[in-house]
Amino acid sequence: MGRVCYNGEQDSEESDGGLTDNILPEEALPICDYEGSTYRTDFWEGRGREYEDLVERIALHRLLPPAGTRLLDVGAGFGRLVDLYTGYDEVVLLVYSCSLLREARERLGDDPRYRYVAASFYHLPFVAGLVETAVMVRVLHHAQDVPSVLDEIARVVCARGHFVLEYANKRHVKAMLRYLLRRQDWSPFDWQPVEFVALNFDFHPAYVRLHLAQAGFAVQQECAVSAFRLPVLKRVVPPRVLAVLDGLLQRPLAPLKPTPSVFVHACRDGDAAVAPAGVFFRCPACHGTDLSRGNDALFCRGCARRWPIANGIYDFRWPRPNDQK
Ligand SMILES: C[S@@+](CC[C@H](N)C(=O)[O-])C[C@H]1O[C@@H](n2cnc3c(N)ncnc32)[C@H](O)[C@@H]1O
Ligand SMILES: [Zn+2]
């Protein structure tokens, strides 16, 4: 099993952990595969991250349109943030790991508002223009090819739809200090992503903004989040107090972004495709939309591939996990 690295929190000197040694075949990009990981119990519950959880909720609540038709959570994990999606008619939880989706389904039950989809953010199995709102929190840091991920999300978000993105910021105040004191060899001012542990990247805000724009997203509003992610502070000040202060600072600090985490609300321009009525999935392998439904799978008429459905989870992982080395 590779090293598990759940979030991009370089500052806490913890790497999270997908199974980073699951490298896909030559032409495919590596995926931080969380299959079988205990992300919830290893990273969140009783792990001293109540503050991070609270401040992320404050930012998401602020930036996310409160209601809408269909929301896609890309890299939803075990569904930590779903209680913020109550105003949406339909919620699609997408993760590469089936085990995390099973956990999400156990928590949420068989509520038909939720759809569970195992797939890669490089190959979303949906027709263009399908969703009104996409959310991606603590996930972009696992992407080696950010432009491809953002292009793929832009493809499935409808015209004038919304995208709320969280990313790990490399140009935060501690990284700048460390660099200036020569305790860090990479420059926080350089626009290129820094990979501090295999498949864990921190990004320069200008880099993210550039690629959002190239994908067709215009930034509307930002929040600088987790200003108090300092172990000493977190030990002495109750998380709820820190979270209130963080909430007060998120918008004033947004222009400077001195924090390790940044939330962005961007809007899709009017150039997006309109989803064909009644069509939801697209084959991630051949991009065909003619899929027929069997008892336990969808069959693609374009390439004859079979996409399993098990325990209410649509398995569109492509390339297939077995293709991984
Ligand atoms: C740190 S967790 C964040 C989970 C959730 N968004 C949250 O904030 O609690 C990272 C998530 O990204 C997912 N992930 C990583 N690489 C992925 C990929 N290529 N495609 C889809 N999901 C991916 C993992 O399965 C995991 O659920
Ligand atoms: Zn196909």
Can you give the residue ranges of every domain in the chain? 3-11+20-315
Out of 21, 35, 95, mutate this one to test ligand 1's pocket (max ligand atoms within 8 Å of CB): namely 95
Q: Does the beta carbon of 85 sit less than 6 angstroms from any atom of ligand 1?
A: no
Q: What is the tens place of the pLDDT at every residue in 259-306? A: 999 999 999 999 899 999 999 999 999 999 999 999 999 999 999 999
C-beta of 114 in contact with ligand 1 (< 6 A): no
Across the range 17-26, mean pLDDT stands at 43
Q: Evaluate: CB of 123 within 6 angstroms of ligand 1.
A: no
Ligand 2 center–CA 314 separation, angstroms: 15
71 touches 91 (CB < 8 A) = yes
Please give the structure tokens belonging to residue 242: 């820190």
Could you give phi then psi for residue 149, rounded to 5 degrees? -65, -45
* 116 strand-pairing partners: 93, 313
Ligand 1 contacts CB of residue 168 (under 6 A): no
* Nearest-angstrom CA–CA distance, 105 and 200: 27
**Residue 55 — pLDDT band, cuts 50, 70, 90?**
very high
Instruction: Please state whether the peptide bond connecting residue 308 to the residue before it is cis, i.e. omega within 30 degrees of 0.
Output: no
Secondary element (H or E) of residue 111: none
As a whole-number percent, the residues of the chain with pLDDT over 70 amount to 91
Tell me how far the alpha carbon of residue 127 lies from the centroid of ligand 2, in angstroms: 13
**pLDDT (average), residues 155-173:** 98
120 lines ligand 1 (CB under 6 A): yes
> Cα(183) to centroid of ligand 1, in Å?
30
CA–CA gap between residue 282 and residue 39 (Å, rounded)? 29
pLDDT digits 0-9 by tens, 207-241: 999 999 999 999 999 999 999 999 999 999 999 99
Does the reported pTM lie above 0.75? yes
Give the atom of ligand 1 at the shortest distance from the alpha carbon of 95: 22
- At residue 8, does pLDDT exceed 70? no
Query: 307 pLDDT exceeds 80?
Result: yes
- Tens of pLDDT, residue by residue over 65-93, are 999 999 999 999 999 999 999 999 999 99
CA distances in angstroms from 232 to 80, 177, 235, 286, 287, listed in the order given? 26, 17, 5, 52, 50
Fold of 3-11+20-315: Rossmann fold (3.40.50)
Shortest-distance ligand to the CA of residue 73: 1
Our answer on whether the CB atom of 88 is closer than 6 Å to any ligand 1 atom is no
Per DSSP, what are the bridge partners of residue 167? 262
Q: Is the pLDDT of residue 14 over 80?
A: no
